[in-house]
Amino acid sequence: MPFWCDRQVFLGDTDSAGVIYFAHLLRLCHEVYELSLASAGINLQDFFCSPHQAIPITHAEIAFLQPIYPGDKLTIRLSGQKLTADTFQLQYAIFKGAEQLASCAHTKHTCICPRTRHKIPLPDPINRWLLTVLPLDDPC
């Protein structure tokens, strides 16, 4: 089941044109990722500071379907899927209000050993977490 989170857009999230800046929307998506991990019982400090594995984003993309302005209330839906033993992808559907699709984002994450920078299998807690955020239907 996908993970849902609500967030209001603030003036500081926007660019000089008065719409959300692309990097800030990706930051909001990453915040939803962190909240989803925490809701699954994963200790974020242990996860992000582990000497045994790191799971950096190796690819990110975002598409804007309509402008997002300060004051807009967003609902961000995260879903994910395992791609290989060491890689997973997350999809973010960003809605204005509850039903108006405004943007889509995708991030690809690869598990590595921080010391050698070589790929290693995803840890069991992440494999279990991925089962909780499997997509039902992807509007993006």
Between CA 129 and CA 122 the distance in angstroms is 11
Give the largest CA-CA distance in the chain. Answer: 45
Write out pLDDT tens, residues 34-44. 999 999 999 99
| Active site members | 15
Q: pLDDT (tens digit, 9 = 90+) per residue, 100-114?
A: 999 999 999 999 999
**CA atoms lying within 13 Å on the CB side of residue 17:** 6
Q: What is the pTM of this model?
A: 0.93
> Radius of gyration (Cα) for the chain, nearest Å?
15
Residue type (1 letter), 86: D
**Pairing outcome for strands 73-84 and 3-8:** antiparallel
Q: What is 3-132's CATH topology? A: Thiol Ester Dehydrase; Chain A (3.10.129)
